[in-house]
Amino acid sequence: MHSSSSSKLKLSFDTVFYYVTDMEASIAFYRDTLGLPMVSQTSIARFDLDGVLIELVPLPPGTMVPGSGNARLCFSVANLKETLGQMHARGLTTSKIKEKRDGKLAFFHDPDGNELCLWEEARAENPVGIEAALLHS
């Protein structure tokens, strides 16, 4: 990448959005199944998650989602196993828990097949003890 200017871009956060083919099914999923508060609905449904605006945008019939990529909405949870149990009780199918270096995660899909993620960050059992052990080894 080339920088044509030494000044920084003045960007601010707007929203995260997904294109959806069935607005009513998607609203029911995000509002009723996941429990996100819907803040407004025009042709676009808007939800608030801890101050982050999430929008569902209707995809016109006969069109395909533009572009490609691997972005996904990721929800932080305190207890992944417990949350998965709640989701399974609501009829949602999820992946198995995947252990990662800094935590664990699981995936699921909305009615349009958009992949969503649940993430439980690893908690350090005794960070002071770990630090001391590293300093003295």
pLDDT > 70: what percent of the chain? 81
Residue 4 banded pLDDT, cuts 50, 70, 90: low
Extended beta strands in the chain, E state: 16-20, 38-41, 45-49, 52-58, 73-76, 98-100, 103-109, 115-121
Distance set, CA 43 to CA 24, 37, 49, 68 (Å): 11, 17, 20, 24
User: Is the pLDDT assigned to residue 81 strictly greater than 60?
Assistant: yes
Residue 46: the pLDDT is 96
Whole-model pTM above 0.85? Answer: no
CA distances from 132 to 101, 126, 129 (A): 21, 10, 5
- Using alpha carbons, select from 61, 50, 53, 76 the residue that is nearest to residue 19: 61
Gyration radius (Cα) of the chain, Å? 19
All domains of the chain in start order, with CATH: 12-61 (3.10.180.10), 71-137 (3.10.180.10)
Two tokens, residue 66: 């533009």
Q: Within 13 Å and on the Cβ side, how many CA atoms surround 11?
A: 6
